[in-house]
Amino acid sequence: METLVKHLDDRKYFKWSNKYSVGISIIDEQHKKLFGFLNKTIDAKEHSDNNEELKEVLEEMTQYALEHFETEEAYMREFDYSECRYHSEEHYRFFTKTIAYFDRVVNGDYHISNELIEYLKQWLVDHIQICDRGYIDCFKKNGLK
């Protein structure tokens, strides 16, 4: 019975796996941290949509995402990655969307956790598995591992 309960409990969390890896250690580590923010959002939801907890997670996640985006974009510029502009636009859309979620929470919309969780799951998976895959060859060709 304990194994079943543990399994059911683990299901709610989004787990990193190698299928999300871009094979570049600094980027993978940053992506793992972004997945951690998704799990913190799930925790906030589990705590009855705790408004303060959700605000903290959104603020911390948005700040960290900016750092991560700057890392990726700096390499893109340095390596003259052809899709840099498009990729930067994807980052900007994520940033503005998370700020909009933050504003909603600040303005009393405490029950956005499910919507936010679904958005983060979709964005992280799609962005990493589609958009980020595009720069792998460029980054590795330029010596990033």
> Residue 136 corresponds to which tokens in the numbers above?
């792998």
Helix or strand holding residue 20 (H, E): none
Query: Cα(first)–Cα(last) distance of the chain, in Å?
Result: 43
74, pLDDT greater than 60? yes
Distance CA 16, CA 132 (A): 16
Domains in the chain (CATH in brackets) are: 23-141 (1.20.120.50)
Residue-level pLDDT at 52: 84
Question: Is-contact 54 105, C-beta < 8 A?
Answer: yes
Determine the Cα–Cα distance for residues 136 and 22; give it in Å rounded to an integer.
6
Q: What is the pTM (predicted TM-score) of this model? A: 0.84
